Structure 1
Amino acid sequence: MEMEKLTRTFDVVVIGGGINGSSIAYQLSKRGRKVAIIEKKQLACEASSAAAGMLAAQAEIEQDGPLFQFALKSQAMFPELANELYEMTGIDIEFDQKGIIKIAETDAIAEEVKKQVTFQQNWDPAIKWLDSHECLEMEPSLSSNIVGGMYLPNDGHVMPATLSKAFAKAAIHFGTEILENTEVLSFIYERERVIGVKTTSGDIHCHQVVLATGAWSAQLMKDTGIDMPVYPVKGECFSVKSDTPILKRTIFSDKRCYFVPKRNGEIFIGATQVENTFDKKVTLGGIASLVERAIQLVPQIKDAKWERAWAGVRPQTGDGLPYIGEHPFKKGLFIAAGHYRNGILLSPVTGQLIADLLEGHPDDTLLSAFRIDRNKQKVH
């Protein structure tokens, strides 16, 4: 028998059950709002479960600006957040803060990384340059060919899908309802204000809507009159296991190869970059290139046991900044999309920023850089 379609009412509907959607729902429901998450598949089934979970605010972002400050603010939230979510849900997000070494493989790259050390020490004096010998003392499995590296003791990582599920479970604790296998088809308007959504399970009414569907956000936004350039970038990863630990810390190469050692003994290794595709198939060529790079950087990896390979789709934007804010001419509609490689890192502060915005006391300093109409991409 076909499921009866019902009209329901909430304070806020969050479209998208990934890590940012769940973080937003958690922050809003914790403040007493009646929230629903609508997810067309299952929670954390896309980029949130495909990421390696690096919290690499200072390894990945190399210049000051709104995104860097946003990332530092979010990174600082993780120690307390990990405890808060564990106490509330019993879920351990496996927050690890053993640091990251950003390696340099040539003298030319080393000069660039040393400049980054000087710059990053403005925010964290503990960051330092390690020569080749010091790198190998810290991580003996690294290739002896590396020139050195930047040691970032306060960068770390989490298990991304676990963090996403912890946000969702904590949101449910505060009353959030989860509607999985439900697709949002369009918005419901009343005099240019969004008052709900039409879904495959019927109409749902609300006072505010937050669109947090990552690389899939552009189509629903186009229907509102804004051409928001969020596009997919596929990334392929694989993991290995070893009887004895190979690495203690995350290793990050500027040539976009990283190693993230997890608590269960797995090392996540990634990631390729293929723009403008939603096809999540894992290709032999993609994995072969990663394997070759991995063995160059950590030769001992070749003796580790193969575990698995996977791919996910990251949401990139035209200028590399996320879109976070209220729609410029559809009141009640808010966006949080386009976090690209930093979705896991930025999830705590994104949830907080959107919740503050919906409550009417936004952080305008950050929001002005991330606003939806910053490039004036109006369709009609």
Structure 2
Amino acid sequence: MDKKTPSRKSGERDVVIVGGGISGAALAFGLAGKGCKVTVLDAPTRTNMASRTNVGLIWCQSKFLHLPEYARWGFMSSRLFPELVRELEEISGLRVPVNFTGGLIPVLGAEDFQKRADYIVKLREALGEYRGAVIERGELEKKLPKIPFGPEVCGAAWCEEDGVIDPLALLRAYRAALPRLGAEYVETMVLDVTPHAGGYRVTTRNGDYFCRRLVLAAGLANRRFARFAVPDLPVYPDKGQVLLVERLPMVMPIPVLGATQTFGGTVIIGFKHERVGHDSGVVPASVATEGRWAMRVWPELAKKRLIRTWSGLRVMPEDNMAIYSRLPGHPQVSLINTHSAVTMAAAHSRLLPDFILGGELPETARGMTLKRFGFAC
């Protein structure tokens, strides 16, 4: 059953946000902080949410050389995170476990080491600044002295602007903060979105919600909700599969991409991206590949108990860059689609509310609209 939350169904909101995951909650937090009357509508199901495979990495390094503005956007968000977490904890009254300690990508073999080094040199040239480098094994062991790395590990890619946050704690804090800022969070299934009387009607199992401004932040469901303006939204399901290893003593103060120790002590292994439609089933061969890689990096994991494996579907724009856009012919409707919801949460809270309210996108994000796919918006 849907959770019944008191609401003003007959009244019109300033903004209705369809989708209450980390992206939708982050936007709502920023808008509510500006005094907007915001309602967030979130489906009660947990079976197909992108957060199922979210480790909680705040991750900027060694990626998006071909999309330098998106790389800059990630670094901008990372730098906004410390202040955001302090404010979230103060308003919500909840603790949000987070480490702003940098991040590491293990390197296996000399060839991989050189490829990583060359990539970082090019990325630094493209961005003008990059606070990271490829480090030798000795330096890696100094950073993580309690992890006995495998003999193939010759070093790591390192970036001081990465980090890790408990993604469920982040989401809980956002949701706890929203009513304290005057926002409304409603857990209900959204059935349809349609233009109505100069605004928009959002039809749910709890009834209809009316608004002048609408935000679609529902991940893969945006394909369905945006059809009144975009018949075929250019996003697809990106499948991730992960393994969960039993709780260990805390040995990883700096997160390692692909084998990350959680704040509870368990280790989540996973790094694959698969384009297989909406099939969210676990494929043993795929998770075995991830497990073998993790044991090459950290052989001690071979002796530990595997608790379970699972998979989830992330939303991925066709060119792997986020979409922040108004819909064609509907300037009051904003579309948000990104596969980096945790990393970009601070940017979404701090830098996107003015865009939602009719302003321009921040300069760094202005190339991330639907125009790049040929839409007039």
Equivalence map 1:235-274=2 (5 Å): 235-252=240-257, 258-274=258-274
**Matching residue of 1:320:** 320
The offset of 1:138, in angstroms, is 3.1
* 2:165 partner letter: V
Q: Deviations over 1:197-236 (max 9, x none)?
A: 2223222111100000112211222232342211111111
User: Are residues 1:224 and 2:222 paired?
Assistant: no
User: Structure 1: which 5+ residue stretches go unaligned?
Assistant: 253-257
**Matching residue of 2:331:** 331
Q: Deviations over 1:87-129 (max 9, x none)?
A: 111222211122212222132221121123435564244x233
The offset of 1:301, in angstroms, is 0.9
**Matching residue of 1:343:** 341
Give the whole-Å Cα distance in 2 for the aligned partners of 1:307 and 1:248.
22
User: Are residues 1:157 and 2:164 paired?
Assistant: yes
Give the whole-Å Cα distance in 2 for the aligned partners of 1:307 and 1:92.
27
Give the whole-Å Cα distance in 1 for the aligned partners of 2:83 and 2:123.
23
**Matching residue of 1:66:** 69
Give the whole-Å Cα distance in 2 for the aligned partners of 1:189 and 1:133.
63
**Matching residue of 1:294:** 294
User: Structure 2: which 5+ residue stretches go unaligned?
Assistant: none
2:129 to 123, 130, 139: 123
Q: Deviations over 1:267-297 (max 9, x none)?
A: 2211332214333333333322221121111
* 2:129 partner letter: W
The offset of 1:359, in angstroms, is 3.0
Between stretches 265-274 and 115-124, larger displacement belongs to 115-124
Give the whole-Å Cα distance in 1 for the aligned partners of 2:368 and 2:271.
26
Give the whole-Å Cα distance in 2 for the aligned partners of 1:66 and 1:319.
13
Say if 1:207 and 1:332, in contact at 8 Å, map to a contact too. yes
Say if 1:27 and 1:171, in contact at 8 Å, map to a contact too. no
Give the whole-Å Cα distance in 2 for the aligned partners of 1:210 and 1:202.
18
Aligned residues: 368
RMSD: 2.6
Give the whole-Å Cα distance in 2 for the aligned partners of 1:83 and 1:171.
15
2:194 to 183, 187, 190: 187
Give the whole-Å Cα distance in 2 for the aligned partners of 1:100 and 1:120.
17
SS at match of 1:103: strand
Give the whole-Å Cα distance in 1 for the aligned partners of 2:47 and 2:331.
28
* C-alpha spacing 1:272/1:150, structure 2 compared with 1 (3 Å): closer
The offset of 1:364, in angstroms, is 4.8
The offset of 1:33, in angstroms, is 0.7
SS at match of 1:184: strand
* 1:344 partner letter: V
Q: Deviations over 1:127-168 (max 9, x none)?
A: 233112332343342212123222213311111122122112
Say if 2:199 and 2:210, in contact at 8 Å, map to a contact too. no
SS at match of 1:331: strand
The offset of 1:15, in angstroms, is 0.2
Give the whole-Å Cα distance in 1 for the aligned partners of 2:47 and 2:364.
26
Equivalence map 1:39-54=2 (5 Å): 39-41=42-44, 46-54=49-57
Say if 1:48 and 1:164, in contact at 8 Å, map to a contact too. no
TM-score between the two structures when normalised by the length of structure 1: 0.88
Give the whole-Å Cα distance in 2 for the aligned partners of 1:42 and 1:291.
29
Between stretches 211-220 and 15-24, larger displacement belongs to 211-220
SS at match of 1:218: helix
* 2:356 partner letter: L
Structure 1 residue runs of 4+, over 6 Å off?
Answer: 2-5
Give the whole-Å Cα distance in 2 for the aligned partners of 1:17 and 1:45.
13
Say if 1:231 and 1:276, in contact at 8 Å, map to a contact too. no
TM-score between the two structures when normalised by the length of structure 2: 0.89
**Matching residue of 2:103:** 100
SS at match of 1:222: coil
State, as a whole percentage, how many aligned pairs show the same letter: 20
Q: Deviations over 1:26-78 (max 9, x none)?
A: 11111111111111225897113430111111244345622111101100111
**Matching residue of 1:255:** none
Give the whole-Å Cα distance in 1 for the aligned partners of 2:67 and 2:195.
40
**Matching residue of 1:55:** 58
SS at match of 1:76: helix
The offset of 1:302, in angstroms, is 1.4
1:359 to 354, 357, 360: 357
The offset of 1:353, in angstroms, is 3.3
Give the whole-Å Cα distance in 2 for the aligned partners of 1:354 and 1:226.
25
SS at match of 2:343: helix
